[in-house]
């Protein structure tokens, strides 16, 4: 679980990022989970965008994806959200101490 200080730090890192994962009308599929898992393993921070044709709430999609990937939600704004999962073997993001 992230502290507010850590979430703020991750939000600052993600601010300039473009979404790397677009979630469409099929919502969360096995292929999407695989892509997100690979990206998080390599980069630890993933910005996602939920398309207009998705009926589910962005927060609900973020919670479902984060739970499936054992990740933490750093931010949800509009149709975009950011999730974080530390790479246990080679961490690249140093979070502020609690």
Query: Taking residues 52-69, what's their average pLDDT?
Result: 93
pLDDT at 27: 81
| Residue-number span of the structural domain to which 70 is assigned | 4-84
In a domain, 47, yes or no: yes
Tally of domains in the chain: 1
In a domain, 90, yes or no: no
In a domain, 94, yes or no: no
In a domain, 31, yes or no: yes
**Per residue in 69-85, pLDDT tens?**
999 999 999 999 999 99
In a domain, 89, yes or no: no
Query: Taking residues 33-52, what's their average pLDDT?
Result: 95
pLDDT at 1: 84
In a domain, 95, yes or no: no
pLDDT at 26: 84
Query: Taking residues 25-37, what's their average pLDDT?
Result: 91
In a domain, 28, yes or no: yes
pLDDT band of 44, cuts 50, 70, 90: very high
CATH number at residue 68: 3.30.110.60
In a domain, 96, yes or no: no
Q: How far is CA 60 from the centre of its chain?
A: 13
pLDDT at 15: 94
């Amino acid at each position: 679980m992230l502290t507010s200080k850590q979430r703020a730090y991750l939000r600052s890192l993600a601010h300039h990022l473009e979404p790397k994962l677009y979630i469409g009308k099929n919502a969360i599929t096995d292929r999407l989970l695989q892509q997100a898992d690979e990206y998080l393993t390599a980069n630890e921070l993933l910005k996602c965008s939920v398309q207009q044709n998705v009926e589910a709430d962005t927060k609900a999609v973020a919670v479902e994806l984060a739970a499936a990937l054992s990740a933490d939600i750093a931010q949800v704004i509009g149709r975009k959200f950011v999730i974080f999962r530390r790479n246990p073997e080679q961490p690249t993001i140093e979070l502020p101490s609690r």
